[in-house]
Each structure stands twice: as C-alpha cells, then as structure tokens.
Structure 1
C-alpha cells in the first residue's frame, strides 16, 4: 500500500513537472507610442504578433503602449517584471536608464533594450542599421528634388537620428553636388499635429522632398496636399499619399524577436549588442512607387544591392565633419561602437545639433 502511494505521489510530481515545463514563456514589450502610429511602435507590435504566430502557445506576450520616457517607463518595466515576464523588450532610446535600473533589481529576468548601448549580465541591446536605408533615401531624394532642397524632420538629437541625417545627406550629395538639407526638430516621436507643422515649415522653405524620423503619416499627407514628395518611416505608409509617397523604409523586427525568444527557451541567451540591417532582411523598402523615373528606380535598386551584398558601407572614409575635421579616415568604415557615438554632422550640413 505504501509502495502504491509512493508511486502515485511520484506520478503526481512528474505530472506537475511536465505541466510546469509546458508553461509558456512570458514576454513583455514596452512601446513609446501607440501601436496605431503606423510607424516605429506599430512595427515592434507586428514583430510581437509574428512571435506569437511562430511559437503559438509556447509564448504569452503582453505590451504596454504610450509609455513616456522617464519615471513612468521605470514603473511600467517594473510592473512587467513583477508580473512574471521572463523576457522584456523596451523599445525606445529613452527607456535605457530605466531598463538598466530594473534589470539590476530583477537578475533572473532577461531584458533587451532597443537603440541603447548599456549592457549587463541580464541586459542586451539591439538596433537597426537605419543609416543604410537612409542613405538610399538620400540618393533618391537627391535625384528627385527640383529645388535642390530636401528636408528632414528630426525627433530628438540622439546618435541614431544624427547618424541617419548624415546618411541621408551623404546619399543625396553622391548624386547631386548642389543639394542642401534643411532640418526641423519636432521633439517628439509621435505627434501628428507637430509633424504636420514641421512638414509645412520645411515645404515653406523650398523643400520638395521630405524625410522623417517621426512615426505618423502626417508629413506624407502634408506633402500629398501640396503636390510634393516624401519617404515613409518605419512601416509601409503608401496608402496615405499615393502620389507623394516614393517608398517607405520598413522595419522588420520579427526575425530578431523569434531568435531571442528561442535563445531564452534554450538557455543559450547571452548579453550582446546586436545590429541588424538590410543584410539581415530587417530593413526593407516597401511599396516603391511605380511613378518614379526609370533612372531613379534603377539607382534605388543598385544602391540597395550594393549595401545588401556588403560591397558598400555608407560610413566609409574619408568623411569630414561640418567643421572641416576628418571624422572618418580614408578606407575606414565606422565600427558599431563608433557608429553609436556619432554626434557630429557631415560636411555641407549647416545646421547646429541642438543640446
């Protein structure tokens, strides 16, 4: 009788172990904007949905949207950790320090922060090589402009944004030596009203091709109303401006999220600084407009192919900054560490970086 009871107990214990092993991995996401922004946060959420589709009931995801960068972010990240999430992705630069603080308090939780640079044992970072697609955008804008004036709506003056402005201008300059760039800082990631105002301010200054580092389709809509051209940000925004839209740069996060979740499941996850780009199919050009001139379309395709093959890297010297100093020596391509520290404009950009 005792043996039978022991076997039953063992069986129950084994069953409990199997049930525990089959519990889904809980994955949390923190977004700076609404998932409906049709830009940065939207594409991160598409990556989350891709994760669910790939793993099915092996994962359980949750997200918090519209989280301000600062104290609110720390509170939200802490709540996700306390709720039992095994892996938490924080998806905006301003979440960096709050993520670092929470990661220290929850050493058994794995954290990953997008676009930052601070690592710890249980905290990794990941970023897109958006400067690759920005260079192509610049080449296109340089060929398309009739006023020789292109515009850029900046969000915040962080290295990622400054790096991308430089890439746009270098790309434009490579095909049009007379091109100028005008920059307006919206000081927001997502605010359709501010983005519309910024777009109109640029177009009032003679800009006829516009790029943006903000997330709503408002700048494209503004360009459509005035018969000018623009390039979409982070997701396919073609439907908002069928004539103005040149193409959109689309961020594809799903492959990375799937890979990192699998690593956590397998127990092989390690803290690292990951950079993904065109070569990784994490950056694509969406809905290239058929109304483009043939030579422009050909140049888009050839530049894309050179970057994808590794034949061309945009930040390869010699490159001077706008004060005349050598910023990148001849034949040197900026390393990832150096790219993360870009806080200077290239030669030809007359604006000053705000502080």
Structure 2
C-alpha cells in the first residue's frame, strides 16, 4: 500500500487553502512501535473589547473549549493538536479549557472568552452548537467555531470532519476479516457527527457482506470508561470480534475489554494503536491542520459563517493502519474503495437510521 505525500495546508510563509483533490493519507504504523443564519437581534450586544488584527501589535487570541481531557489520545487530543498548530503557525495567543458536560457550562465557557476579547472561540464537539449560536448574538466581533456542528450564523462556523469516510473503510476491513460475522460500534453521546461515524462503519461492512450483524450502541457519555467497557463486553459476549468506538476518553474502557477478550478493534480521530498494540488494526484520523486552516481564514476575513465539510478529498481525513495486521489482498481492495470515495462514487453516509 502506497503512502501519499504529507498533508499540505501551510506552504512556507504563504498559506493556502486545502488542496482541491489530494491523495488519501495511509499512515502505516510500525509493528513495534447550513440553513439560513439567524437574524442579528435588535437588542444591544454585550460590551466586548475590540478584536486585534493579525497585523497589529497584539497577537490574535484563540481559545478552545474541550468536552474532555486532552490526554485522551483521541478527539480532545486532536483538538489540542490543532490549537498548538494555531499557536505556532499563526502566531496566536491560545488558551484551552475543559468544561463540564452541561449546556450552562458550555455557554459560560463561550461567554467568558468572548468577554475577554478573544477573536475565535472553538467549541470542540457538536454538543456546543446551541450555546455557540446563543452567545454569538451578543458578541458579533468574536467568531465561534463548532467542530462536528451542523448549524451556522454570521459569526458561527461549523467544521465537520467527515471521519465517517474512513470509518466506512474500517467497516469494510472488519467485514473482510471477521470470523464470526458479528461486529460492533460504540458511541458516546448520540449526536449527529458521532452517529454518522458509526453508521458509516456499518455501511462499509454491509457493502462487503450484506448479511453481517453490526451492533451499534451509545453509552451517553464521553468519559465513562466503565460504561464503555461494559458495553464492549456485552457485544463481545454476543459474538463481536471487531469493535470500533467514537466515545472519546471513554474509549479506554473499550480497549480494556478488547484486551481482556483478545479481539480486534479500531481507534478513532488519532492513531490509537499504542493504546492496545496487539489488538488495534487501525484508526480513522482527522488532520488538525484542517481546523487550523479554518481559523486562519477567519482571522484573514476569508471565512464566512457556514457549515464546512472536510474529508478525504481535502486530505483532512485519513487512516492509520497497523503494519502487518491487514493482508495484502485486503489492502488492494481498500485502495479501490478509497479511490471510489475520493471520486464521489460511494456515499458512505447514504444509509442512515
């Protein structure tokens, strides 16, 4: 399996937008190693400091609200990776804060950073959508970014990494390698972005074997490792020999169960093979450069409020494969599926519940 050229978002000091059609990133891991925007309210917005310009003396200020620990080696770590790129490549002052899983805390997080005069505040997850839309009305000079969101406003940008395209490939791998004909997918909260990833996994498996049994469940939390382990064990007890997750920090429970019962699994968002090196076949991944590029466009007044989808064609989604885990004949089939997704010949999200 060939490895494509690296992701390119920042080219020397001249920064460019995502490539129109780029090679899909196969990262081989060593075996040892919107709709209509809401109208601006008639009421006077809350007092807000003027936002600094990128050419002024003050650095642009960018904040990240995380729904879980950035040490999760997954979704939250991916968001923090993007923030560090923003700091290094864009010269921004950055700050990160973990918030509790409640609408009130998410809104307070947005509001506090906006009141401090931050230029961009990122809510890392679709669950931040409603709070971003509410606070944005009061702070028109701050742009609010929601990853995995599905709504927009004049100063709200939702960025959707279509990781489901790589989850589809994971499903195809599972279907080709499963010995039991049963596989499972475990999500955190049942929000649209997470559901799309898991149902794309199911669709990829069914494209290979229409009769395969794909169990899907949501545990209702991004951090409850005990619930994730319990759900994983329940699926394994029903015959699942491959599992995928989209449950952030709670995935530690999935990997624990996988190691206990000696089956195969997939990571999510980042290469997670080191978390269960004898069991993780590969990981659908999101490229943090994509989120950093959105922020650059916002700071340069090039990005309007809209829902932006980034996927394989943009080199924003990839797949980290554990070396030696996948037979060569399956690698060849995956290359064919990847090309078809790039060309738009396969809609990985077509069949949804």
CA contact (8 A) 2:163 2:285 kept: no
Q: Deviations over 1:106-158 (max 9, x none)?
A: 11111111222222111111111122111111101111111100011122223
Compared CA separation, residues 174 and 102, structure 1 to 2 (3 A): same
1:262 maps to: 296
Equivalent in 320, 324, 337 of residue 303 of structure 1 = 337
CA contact (8 A) 1:150 1:208 kept: yes
CA contact (8 A) 2:290 2:310 kept: no
Count of residue pairs brought into register by the alignment: 300
Q: Deviations over 1:148-171 (max 9, x none)?
A: 000111222232233333322221
Compare the two structures and name the one with the higher helix fraction.
1
**Structure 1 unpaired stretches of 5+:** 1-16, 320-343, 346-355
SS in 2 for 1:61: strand
1:201 maps to: 234
Equivalent in 284, 292, 297 of residue 318 of structure 2 = 284
Equivalent in 25, 41, 48 of residue 76 of structure 2 = 41
Q: Write the distance in 2 (CA, Å) between the matches of 1:108 and 1:226.
A: 53
Q: Write the distance in 1 (CA, Å) between the matches of 2:53 and 2:331.
A: 56
Compared CA separation, residues 295 and 77, structure 1 to 2 (3 A): same
Equivalent in 258, 261, 269 of residue 223 of structure 1 = 258
2:7 maps to: none
Q: Write the distance in 2 (CA, Å) between the matches of 1:18 and 1:47.
A: 21
SS in 2 for 1:292: coil
User: Superposed, which structure 2 residues align to 1:61-140 within 5 Å?
Assistant: 61-140=94-173
TM norm structure 1:
0.79
Q: Write the distance in 1 (CA, Å) between the matches of 2:242 and 2:54.
A: 57
Equivalent in 145, 158, 175 of residue 178 of structure 2 = 145
2:18 maps to: none
2:305 maps to: 271
CA contact (8 A) 1:152 1:182 kept: yes
Q: Write the distance in 2 (CA, Å) between the matches of 1:159 and 1:110.
A: 23
SS in 1 for 2:58: coil
How far 1:292 moved relative to its partner? 2.0
CA contact (8 A) 2:151 2:306 kept: no
SS in 2 for 1:45: helix
Q: Write the distance in 1 (CA, Å) between the matches of 2:295 and 2:206.
A: 41
SS in 2 for 1:36: coil
Equivalent in 245, 257, 271 of residue 212 of structure 1 = 245
**Structure 2 unpaired stretches of 5+:** 1-51
Q: Write the distance in 1 (CA, Å) between the matches of 2:183 and 2:175.
A: 8
How far 1:180 moved relative to its partner? 0.4
Compared CA separation, residues 140 and 114, structure 1 to 2 (3 A): same
Greater gyration radius = 1
Q: Write the distance in 2 (CA, Å) between the matches of 1:232 and 1:297.
A: 18
Compared CA separation, residues 19 and 170, structure 1 to 2 (3 A): closer
TM norm structure 2:
0.79
Compared CA separation, residues 311 and 95, structure 1 to 2 (3 A): same
Q: CA RMSD in A?
A: 2.1
How far 1:183 moved relative to its partner? 2.1
User: Superposed, which structure 2 residues align to 1:1-20 within 5 Å?
Assistant: none
SS in 2 for 1:287: strand
Compared CA separation, residues 62 and 19, structure 1 to 2 (3 A): closer
2:213 maps to: 180
2:202 maps to: 169
Q: Deviations over 1:158-190 (max 9, x none)?
A: 322333333222211121232101123211122
Compared CA separation, residues 264 and 130, structure 1 to 2 (3 A): closer
| Moved beyond 4 Å, runs of 4+ | 17-20
Tell me which moved more, 153-162 or 123-132. 153-162
